[in-house]
A and B are shown apart, each in its own frame.
Chain A
Amino acid sequence: MNPILLAVIIVSAIGLIAGLGLAIASKVMAVPVDEKAEKIRECLPGANCGACGFSGCDGYAEALSKGETTNTALCNPGGKDAAKAIAEITGLAAGEVIPKTAVVLCQGNKHNAEDKLIYSGIKSCAMASQVFGGPKACIYGCVGFGDCVKACPFDAISLCDGIARINPAKCHSCGVCINTCPKGIIKMLPVTEVKAAVLCNNHEKGAVTRKQCKAGCIGCMKCVKTCEVGAVSINNFCAEVDYEKCIGCGQCHEACPVKSIDILDMTHFMEYRSE
């Protein structure tokens, strides 16, 4: 037989057999796919961050399609658009997503915080905080080895002079950093509102705090006294702000002797938030 013809026949025959086999196999062994879940999955950003409380984006999509949850606004990274798109597919009401950003509530940088030991182990916050609560004198503040920097799926966190700082323009409020931080000093705050925030978590008595960090809350009560709406309280030697009551007037910041309470105006970051 003509070798060229033979070659053509062999290749086409193998291709045909393979194609037919696959076609039959996919028909015979078809597994029903949840189309709704797949459509929902396409609306989600796919960061698999777990902020929604389900096992990744697939888990959330499945839960929505099966009706295990009716909340369409659980996806923080996807924000408003994802909520709207999911609502269209599922026929549920679109939930309101308040844009939030994670903030490291600590000012204990190299300038402010005192060290109590020289740590030369593995550069990880989780590891370092096992050793007498970390190298800094204050055991409540940011350890500064950047576990959150590594954990952030959106590259929004950087280390600035020994403490982590989160860029609200890049933060997708997924909450991975909050779960990573061994000190629990990262909190989620709304970006759209101008409110006061206590940039300290030190619960030692004032005199002790003073020795540990120049910017630590000493529990002097000045902010509590100046606040006109009664939004600030002192709990265990550290100030706390009730965000419902706070009007963002800034008087507490004026009164604070160590400037550990501050008005965070992050509204201008919103325009830099890219989709």
Chain B
Amino acid sequence: MAEKRSLGKEFSKGLLIENPVLRLVLGTCPTLATSTSMVNALGMGISVLIVLVCSNTVISLLRKVIPSKVRIPAYIVVIASFVTMVQMLVKAFVPTLNEALGVFLPLIVVNCIILGRAEAFAGKNSVIASAVDGVGMGIGFTMALLCMSTIRELFGNGTLLDGASTSILALFGVTKFNGVDVFAHLPIEPALIFILAPGGFFTFGLLMAFANKIAESKGKSKAELRGCASCPMAASCSLLLSGEKEDVLSKNPRAAVPAINSEEVAK
């Protein structure tokens, strides 16, 4: 990344444009496995956020010391140390989370988001930028996890934020609130399958489709020729000549000509 970007941009890109889960498709395993309930997702997201910021900072500090040949093992050791620390903290302060996440807590080590950011960003950028990048990516990950877990918990268990008082939220003073049982007053049963494995894949697929749709409607900023302007035969195209052009445009918006107009091509 040669061009300098402002810190604000480094931060915000992780939230939506380069959201690690929905756009870069990194760290799918923990996303699917820990989004069964909102409190689990929140706990996982915060754990990853902490590890990501710490490892990004340290790797960025060490980037000139580590020879590029052994950088991956070196990164892994740094990440593994922070993961072990977070694991011990979680065990001590939020034992319920440790039980719920199980093997996925130590597996943060091999989470592609962390190694991916270390390799793609922290190994090449300054300390502050790397830390900010870590915060942005971590929050993006947490947000995507929360989105998924909200859907899955609501439809699969009929609740929202179930078990909040014994979760990581208890550390922030939430001790009385213990979730909302949304489906309790409704005459429908929650669909358990949303909490099980298939529901995870399904919800993730739909969310990703949604993210694609948003990204598509926003459009890429890169100027490129599209539609009839990109067609070398537009000049003699029977649709353009017969006046059916508008018809085509309304049916197929991709045939619209954003970059240069078709008369120019026609010449």
Contact = CB atoms under 8 A, between A and B. Distances in A.
Interface of A: 15, 101, 103, 107, 109, 111-112, 158, 160-161, 165-170, 199, 214-215, 253, 259, 262, 264-266, 268-269, 272, 274
A103 to B, nearest CB: 6
Contact of A167 (B77, B225, B236, B237): B225
22 contacts: A15-B77, A103-B232, A103-B233, A107-B238, A109-B239, A111-B242, A112-B238, A158-B230, A160-B231, A161-B248, A165-B231, A165-B232, A167-B225, A167-B231, A168-B232, A199-B233, A214-B238, A262-B233, A264-B232, A265-B235, A269-B225, A274-B224
B255 A160 contact: yes
B244 A111 contact: yes
A27 to B, nearest CB: 14
A165 B77 CA distance: 51
A158 B254 contact: yes
Given A268-B265, A272-B224, 19 more contacts: A15-B77, A103-B232, A107-B237, A111-B239, A111-B242, A160-B228, A167-B226, A167-B230, A167-B231, A168-B232, A169-B224, A199-B233, A262-B233, A264-B233, A265-B232, A269-B225, A269-B232, A272-B225, A274-B224
Nearest to A259: B236
A268 B225 CA distance: 11
Nearest to A110: B239
Contacts of B254: 158
A169 B224 CA distance: 8
A169 B233 contact: no
Contact of A165 (B224, B233, B242, B248): B233
5 closest residue pairs by CB, A with B:
A167-B230, A169-B225, A165-B231, A262-B236, A266-B232
Contacts of B235: 262, 265
Interface of B: 77, 224-226, 228, 230-233, 235-239, 242, 244, 248, 252, 254-255, 259, 265
B230 A165 contact: yes
Contact of A170 (B77, B224, B228, B248): B224
Q: Which label, helix, strand, loop or mixed, suits the secondary structure of the A interface?
A: loop
Given A169-B225, A272-B224, A109 B233 contact: no
A165 B236 CA distance: 13
Nearest to B231: A165
A269 B224 CA distance: 10
A15 B80 CA distance: 13
A266 B235 CA distance: 11
B211 to A, nearest CB: 19
Contacts of A161: 239, 248, 252
A82 to B, nearest CB: 22
B224 A107 contact: no
Contacts of A262: 233, 235-236
A20 B233 CA distance: 64
B216 to A, nearest CB: 14
Contacts of B238: 107, 109, 111-112, 214-215
B24 to A, nearest CB: 19
Nearest to B242: A111
Nearest to A156: B230
B233 A107 contact: yes
B30 to A, nearest CB: 25
B220 to A, nearest CB: 12
A274 B232 CA distance: 17
A199 to B, nearest CB: 7
Nearest to A103: B232
A88 B55 CA distance: 41
Contacts of A165: 230-233
A15 B78 CA distance: 13
Choose among B231, B232, B252, B255 the residue with the greatest number of A CB atoms under 10 Å from its CB.
B232
A143 B203 CA distance: 36
B66 to A, nearest CB: 14
A194 to B, nearest CB: 11
A158 B256 CA distance: 13
B265 to A, nearest CB: 8
A199 B235 CA distance: 13
A49 to B, nearest CB: 20
Choose among B237, B239, B259, B265 the residue with the greatest number of A CB atoms under 10 Å from its CB.
B237
A107 B244 CA distance: 15
A72 to B, nearest CB: 29
A149 B137 CA distance: 34
Contacts of A214: 238
A169 B222 CA distance: 13
Contacts of B242: 111
Nearest to A105: B233
A32 B218 CA distance: 50
Contacts of B77: 15
A168 B224 CA distance: 11
Contacts of A160: 228, 231, 252, 255
